[in-house]
A = this chain, B = another copy of it.
Amino acid sequence: MPGLQRRLAEFAEVRDWGRYHTPKNLAAALSVEAGELVEIFQWLTPEESAGVMADRRSAARVEDEVADVLAYLLQFCEVLGVDALAALEAKIARNEERFPAPGNGDSME
């Protein structure tokens, strides 16, 4: 992922897109792409939504939107110096405390 983040940064730099890439704009762009991902599913039942990759065209659309969301997330992290993987690691650790796995303390011995 750091390699892709670097590649995206160079891509933007070479094209002089830096002035558009404020954190505010990149956060907005990320949410726009997330909306386009939601759009694919908006009228589907939960069951239909699970089968979306079986259709070649909607599979391509899903992959495209996933790429866009990840691209803007990494570009956002790049301009603010955020380490997305470290942030997620820390969050998982916090959530493991917040939502303890059930059952382990319930054994009857």
Contacts and interface: CB of A to CB of B under 8 A. Distances in A.
B39 A32 contact: yes
B49 A11 contact: no
B32 A27 contact: no
Given A31-B34, A34-B30, A99-B15, A63 B82 contact: yes
Name the interface size band of chain A. 35 or more
A45 B46 contact: yes
Interface string A36-62: 111111111110011011000000001
Interface of A: 1, 4, 7-8, 11, 14-16, 20, 22-25, 27-32, 34-46, 49-50, 52-53, 62-64, 66-71, 73-74, 76-77, 79-82, 84-85, 87-92, 95-96, 99, 101-102
